[in-house]
């Protein structure tokens, strides 16, 4: 028999979550989660909370799409829901420029594969109807790349990640949407890393019929709460006509619990799955924080603080190859090339949670999700400089601190 004394209560320490995600869940979100009463998923306040979340989410995403709600789970759960309308044999063009859009493309290959194509290589199918355009790590997907591929293939579906977190690159969402409109493709977008960080409204991109994001990055919520999704009427009509091979993540069915039935808002949701009062409270509070701060302000803050971090690591001799405002992806100074994993592991062992890239080439990723203060950026910069010095670099930490001060003074002056 297993003796429970071999398993003392699990304690997980705090870290400085300075990676691509999960971000630092806001203390108010944690308090809302822990402060929720025990209630069933049909309790009037839970149902009311879900309906309020739906309305706040529409505002947060900048949309009048009725089919806007949260999918229980993580970012991949929302993406799976969004891709559920892609059926075996459907033609798809997917753009991949890093780890995450690569996994998105794999998901699409799994969904569009025929039974024979799936059985031939079930974990990595290569369906004839799916074209994956590989853009090198460190580069963005441009309007020209999208236009050329959609003109050539004329697919039913097109896919792009808005911000590719693996390589820290922003892809051209307007170019993508325009090409989708021009070639009558239905655009699907992974907005996991951009939502809540970039200032954009999804309704400004009419070529995109489906959007999916996550709880744990710009939204500041807990992982495993709700992944925001939004679908246009065209997506929903296509889905209704063809169906999807899922119950749990079926967009039309899942939306019912959020009070969306037959394309209309209804007063009260109906059972789809056992939602958690805790998760609903956390999601609700995260949305309230985001709406109060405002997307424009938040986007400006990310850009300002990312610039401070970027300048500091550049002064240390690192080369930054990313252009996202929530994440810096860098090469170490030439003398330390090849020691990225060692540096990242040393930092992580000390509770300073930075990350390597997950696919080649090996680079270092430092993120600032919900770390938008001079104190937080200074702590990140100091810890990173100390880690470089521990490898044998000679970074003048005082000079870097002065440079940071000057950056922050400039805002006070402005």
Ligand X SMILES: *Cc1c(COP(=O)(O)O)cnc(C)c1O
Query: Residues interacting with ligand X, by CB under 6 A?
Result: 21, 74-76, 100, 161, 165, 190, 192-193, 214, 216, 223
Q: Report how far residue 32's alpha carbon sits from residue 279's, in angstroms, rounded to the nearest whole number.
A: 9
C-alpha neighbours within 13 Å on the C-beta side of residue 309: 35
What is the number of the residue whose Cβ is closest to ligand X? 75
Q: How far is the CB of 227 from ligand X (least distance, A)?
A: 7
Q: Is the peptide bond before 361 cis (omega within 30 degrees of 0)?
A: yes
Tokens coding 246: 């899922």
Q: How far is the CB of 191 from ligand X (least distance, A)?
A: 8
Q: How far is the CB of 9 from ligand X (least distance, A)?
A: 26
In the bound state with ligand X, the residue whose beta carbon lies nearer, of 51 and 79, is 79
Q: How far is the CB of 100 from ligand X (least distance, A)?
A: 4
In the bound state with ligand X, the residue whose beta carbon lies nearer, of 25 and 165, is 165
In the bound state with ligand X, the residue whose beta carbon lies nearer, of 21 and 49, is 21
- Of the candidates 353, 321, 357, 18, which has an alpha carbon nearest to the alpha carbon of residue 166? 357
In the bound state with ligand X, the residue whose beta carbon lies nearer, of 46 and 103, is 103
Specify the long-range contacts of residues 211-215, CB closer than 8 Å, at least 24 apart.
211/61, 211/82, 212/71, 212/75, 212/78, 212/79, 212/81, 212/82, 212/188, 213/75, 213/78, 214/21, 214/74, 214/75, 214/78, 215/70, 215/74, 215/75, 215/283, 215/286
Q: What is the DSSP string of 324-390?
A: -SSEEEEEPPGGGTT-HHHHHHHHHHTTB--EE-SSSSP-EEEE-TT--SHHHHHHHHHHHHHHHHH
Q: Which residues on neighbouring strands pair with residue 16, listed in sequence order?
A: 352
In the bound state with ligand X, the residue whose beta carbon lies nearer, of 192 and 381, is 192
Beta strands across the sheet bearing 319-320: 319-320, 327-331, 364-367, 355-356
Q: How far is the CB of 104 from ligand X (least distance, A)?
A: 7
In the bound state with ligand X, the residue whose beta carbon lies nearer, of 19 and 207, is 19
In the bound state with ligand X, the residue whose beta carbon lies nearer, of 75 and 196, is 75
Please give the radius of gyration of the chain, using alpha carbons only, rounded to the nearest integer. Answer: 22
Q: How far is the CB of 61 from ligand X (least distance, A)?
A: 16
Q: How far is the CB of 166 from ligand X (least distance, A)?
A: 8
In the bound state with ligand X, the residue whose beta carbon lies nearer, of 103 and 180, is 103
Q: C-alpha angle 195/370/297, rounded to 5°?
A: 65
Q: Which residues on neighbouring strands pair with residue 189, listed in sequence order?
A: 160, 211
Q: How far is the CB of 223 from ligand X (least distance, A)?
A: 6
Residue whose token pair is 């090996």 = 362
Q: How far is the CB of 73 from ligand X (least distance, A)?
A: 7
In the bound state with ligand X, the residue whose beta carbon lies nearer, of 223 and 333, is 223
């Amino acid at each position: 028999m297993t003796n429970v004394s071999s398993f003392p209560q699990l304690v997980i320490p705090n870290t400085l979550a300075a990676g691509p995600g999960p971000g630092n869940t806001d203390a108010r979100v944690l308090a809302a989660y822990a402060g929720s009463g025990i209630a069933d998923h049909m309790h009037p306040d839970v149902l009311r909370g879900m309906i309020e979340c739906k309305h706040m989410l529409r505002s947060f995403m900048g949309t009048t799409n009725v089919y806007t709600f949260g999918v229980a789970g993580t970012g991949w759960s929302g993406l799976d829901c969004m891709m559920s309308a892609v059926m075996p044999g459907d033609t798809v063009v997917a753009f991949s420029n890093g780890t995450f859009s690569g996994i998105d493309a794999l998901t699409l290959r799994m969904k569009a594969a025929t039974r024979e194509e799936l059985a031939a290589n079930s974990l990595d199918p290569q369906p004839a109807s799916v074209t994956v355009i590989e853009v090198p790590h460190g580069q963005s997907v441009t309007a020209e790349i999208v236009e050329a591929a959609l003109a050539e293939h004329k697919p039913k579906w097109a896919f792009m990640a808005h911000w590719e977190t693996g390589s820290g690159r922003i892809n051209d969402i307007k170019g993508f949407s325009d090409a989708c409109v021009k070639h009558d493709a239905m655009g699907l977008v992974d907005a996991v890393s951009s939502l809540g960080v970039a200032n954009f409204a999804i309704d400004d991109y009419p070529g995109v019929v489906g959007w999916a994001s996550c709880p744990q990055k710009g939204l500041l919520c807990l992982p495993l709460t709700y992944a925001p999704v939004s679908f246009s009427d065209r997506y929903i009509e296509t889905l209704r006509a063809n169906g999807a091979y899922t119950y749990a993540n079926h967009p039309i069915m899942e939306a019912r619990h959020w009070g969306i039935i037959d394309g209309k808002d209804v007063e009260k949701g109906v059972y789809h799955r056992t939602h958690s009062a805790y998760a609903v409270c956390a999601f609700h509070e995260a949305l309230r924080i985001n709406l109060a701060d405002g997307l424009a302000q938040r986007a400006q803050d990310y850009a300002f603080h990312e610039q401070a971090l970027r300048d500091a690591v550049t002064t240390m001799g690192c080369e930054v190859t990313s252009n996202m405002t929530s994440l810096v992806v860098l090469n170490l100074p030439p003398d330390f090339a090849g020691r990225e994993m060692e540096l990242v592991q040393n930092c992580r062992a000390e509770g300073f949670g930075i990350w390597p890239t997950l696919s080649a080439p090996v680079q270092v990723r430092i993120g600032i999700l919900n770390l938008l203060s001079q104190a937080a950026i200074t702590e990140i910069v100091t810890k990173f400089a100390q880690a470089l010095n521990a490898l044998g670099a000679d970074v003048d930490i005082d000079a870097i601190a002065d440079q940071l001060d000057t950056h922050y003074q400039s805002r006070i002056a402005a």
